[in-house]
């Protein structure tokens, strides 16, 4: 969405963003349920079968151990009661505020509530078929370089770039970098005490020098992250002209966060990953954890949105479109941010969180982050198989 940001932060802008989210995600769900608007359901006779698609306005437990889920569409709100004996506890556990879901069930006798029989997420079809290159070619998936930090692992980076010059790495023609090229300034308390380079522009100059170690014919695609010098609110546009001019090494392609890039016929959704913190905080550990970040990514694919929950730590900028919706199913989903390595396949989509190039900082130690540093996942673009190389 670089160059397309039009939102001013007015109330009407947020309404437009959420209407777009609802329209596009409800379209995915309409083929699965016989959907009726909230106001139409309210006029149906008691005991009728009904289904509604809406954004989650509220989820709460009742005294009896059931769950009340309130959905909102463009006509109003309507409550659904999920009984504890329906076997839907696992599904309710995965619900996040503001995401789009469908509920099917039967209306109460007074038509005031919908007794839920099933809940549906927009989800990725199990039959999703992936693309692939027509030759053997590879891409390195990396993120969170953090040049400028005292803990930037320059030796590991040089080991990686030295390897890229070897015959073994000859098929690696692409590097896809999912944000946080530099450490930034003022991102967290007392960060200045952990900086090797204190000026943000000097950090990008240093990053550009490290980028020169990469073979000259390697194509590089980069998105910004929360440590980079762009707005924190998502979607984040690519860098301004001044920083782009600093990072003009290899004629790197700099796109927004998130962005879908097509590489040799493979659709790669790149997202830095700030919302993973919220997903991990909100959902049960077996569904989402820092030790297995790819499972949190599965949840975003299931919800078809990279940052479904509004009003928390993930800042959202209102735009004419909700650029955070996963409208088209990618072949590969690549994130960073949490500094942990994890990968797996969800409905044929390869989800990869690629670790980092920064050793543990004092701040990370204080919040119990034990980073997976110095790894480079290498993706075969013809088969979508992946190997992980360690350079630290």
209 and 223 Cβ atoms separated by less than 8 Å: no
Characterize the bridge pairing of strands 138-142 and 349-354.
unpaired
pLDDT tens for residues 222-266?
A: 999 999 999 999 999 999 999 999 988 888 999 999 999 999 999
| Domain 31-120 class in CATH | mainly beta
Spatial CA neighbour of 144 closest among 380, 303, 331, 377: 377
Cβ contacts of 280 within 8 Å, gap of 6 or more = 288, 289, 290, 293, 296, 338
| Domain 138-390 class in CATH | alpha beta
Mean pLDDT by 10 residues, the chain (392 residues): 75 92 96 92 93 96 94 96 90 95 95 94 92 96 97 97 97 97 90 92 96 96 95 92 90 94 97 96 93 97 96 87 95 97 96 96 85 97 96 92
DSSP for 142-183?
E----BTBTTB-HHHHHHHHHHHTSGGGTTEEEEEE-S--B-
pLDDT at 311: 83
Tokens of 217: 């014919």
Spatial CA neighbour of 332 closest among 276, 275, 257, 385: 385
pLDDT at 288: 94
Query: How far, in Å, are 134, 142, 175, 178, 211 from residue 220 at the CA level?
Result: 20, 11, 5, 11, 10
pLDDT at 261: 96
Spatial CA neighbour of 315 closest among 5, 25, 9, 59: 9
Characterize the bridge pairing of strands 114-120 and 100-107.
antiparallel
Spatial CA neighbour of 306 closest among 283, 339, 272: 272
Residue spans per domain, the chain:
31-120, 138-390
Strand, coil or helix: 280:
helix
First to last CA, the chain: 35
């Amino acid at each position: 969405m670089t160059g397309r940001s039009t939102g001013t932060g007015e109330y009407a802008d947020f309404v437009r963003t959420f209407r777009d989210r609802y329209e596009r995600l409800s379209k995915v769900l309409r083929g699965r349920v016989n959907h009726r608007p909230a106001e139409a359901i309210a006029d149906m006779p008691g005991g009728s079968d009904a289904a509604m698609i809406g954004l989650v306005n509220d989820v709460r437990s009742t005294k009896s151990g059931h769950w009340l889920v309130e959905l909102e569409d463009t006509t109003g709100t309507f409550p659904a009661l999920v009984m504890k004996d329906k076997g839907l506890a696992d599904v309710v556990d995965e619900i996040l505020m503001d995401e789009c879901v469908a509920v099917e069930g039967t209306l109460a006798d007074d038509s005031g509530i919908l007794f839920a029989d099933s809940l549906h997420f927009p989800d990725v079809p199990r039959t999703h078929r992936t693309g692939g290159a027509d030759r053997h070619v590879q891409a390195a998936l990396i993120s969170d370089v953090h040049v400028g930090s005292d803990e930037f692992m320059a030796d590991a980076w040089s080991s990686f770039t030295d390897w890229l010059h070897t015959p073994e790495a000859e098929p690696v023609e692409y590097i896809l970098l999912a944000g946080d090229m530099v450490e930034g300034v003022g991102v967290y308390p007392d960060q200045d005490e952990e900086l090797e380079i204190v000026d943000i522009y000097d950090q990008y100059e240093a990053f550009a020098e490290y980028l020169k170690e990469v073979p000259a014919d390697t194509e590089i695609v980069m998105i910004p992250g929360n440590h980079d010098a762009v707005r924190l609110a998502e979607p984040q546009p690519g860098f301004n002209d001044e920083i782009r001019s600093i990072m003009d090494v290899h004629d790197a392609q700099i796109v927004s966060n998130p962005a879908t890039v097509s590489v040799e016929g493979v659709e790669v959704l790149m997202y830095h990953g700030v919302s993973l913190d919220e997903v991990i905080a909100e959902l049960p550990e077996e569904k989402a954890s820092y030790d297995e970040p790819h499972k949190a990514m599965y949840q975003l694919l299931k919800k078809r949105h990279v940052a479904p929950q509004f009003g928390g730590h993930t800042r959202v900028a209102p735009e004419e479109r909700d650029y955070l919706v996963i409208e088209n199913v990618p072949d590969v989903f690549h994130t960073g941010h949490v500094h942990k390595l994890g990968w797996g396949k969800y409905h044929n989509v390869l989800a990869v969180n690629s670790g980092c190039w920064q050793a543990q900082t004092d701040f990370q130690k204080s919040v119990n982050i034990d980073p997976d540093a110095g790894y480079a996942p290498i993706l075969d673009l013809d088969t979508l198989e992946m190997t992980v190389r360690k350079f630290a």
